[in-house]
Structure 1
């Protein structure tokens, strides 16, 4: 998850942003930009897919929307439950997701950056496994 680099939001409060926010607020799950685009269209409003991507990217940069990049190349979005930088524990089967803090990862990333002379360190981390329900179903 990318953290915001300034406290000033980049996203203007347009009707498109409000419509996207309504979709994200109503879903506990990560959604693709295409799913969000389709959901907005189902409300009778017309918004371009490019606008959906722009709004989502600005919200990711503002730190209010999480981004989850799956290993199949798909990118998903969800409203953040935690404020500040955090990571995700994701079920490979059902995509259930827990938001987790990992301070030792932050320290490690900063240390590696320092070791190689890098500054302005940022990173993403997702941990994949099977949630208890999917693990139980598999046995």
Structure 2
């Protein structure tokens, strides 16, 4: 098994390793279907269900970043930062930037405390348009 491949329990199969390898070689977020298509392009026999299950397992151990787009589509990327973070996402081209999570963490804790909630988790992504897309839309 290649070094750097996260352990997914006892069932770290050839198919799961193939999914992980694709994730490690792409530098953008991709949908499960796009990852599956790339596996087919590489003549890797991995079912779409296996791709979805592998991505879910990787998300559970925080080995992949997960973006839930406004369109309902979920995108995945191998986690780049070892620290808790969120993403700034361009709605034009899909470019993403990792942003620190400290401010969001502080805010989430304060809101939970204010409403007498025990915080168990949160999702926070920030959407906008990158400089290149803003320039393109002005032309």
For 2:76, the equivalent position in structure 1 comes to: 77
Aligned length: 132
Structure with greater contact order relative to length (CA < 8 Å, sep ≥ 6): 1
For 1:109, the equivalent position in structure 2 comes to: 108
Once the 2 structures are TM-superposed, how far is the Cα of residue 10 of structure 1 from its aligned partner?
A: 4.1
Which structure 2 residue ranges, 5 or more long, are not aligned? 1-5
Question: In structure 2, how many angstroms separate the alpha carbons of the residues matched to 1:27 and 1:44?
Answer: 17
Which structure 1 residue ranges, 5 or more long, are not aligned? 1-7
For 1:4, the equivalent position in structure 2 comes to: none
Once the 2 structures are TM-superposed, how far is the Cα of residue 70 of structure 1 from its aligned partner?
A: 0.7
1:64-88 superposed Cα distances (whole Å, 9 cap, x missing partner): 1011111011111001111132100
For 1:64, the equivalent position in structure 2 comes to: 63
Once the 2 structures are TM-superposed, how far is the Cα of residue 35 of structure 1 from its aligned partner?
A: 0.8
CA contact (8 A) 2:93 2:133 kept: yes
TM-score (norm 1): 0.86
Matches within 5 A, 1:118-137: 118-137=117-136
Once the 2 structures are TM-superposed, how far is the Cα of residue 93 of structure 1 from its aligned partner?
A: 0.5
SS at match of 2:127: strand
For 1:48, the equivalent position in structure 2 comes to: 47
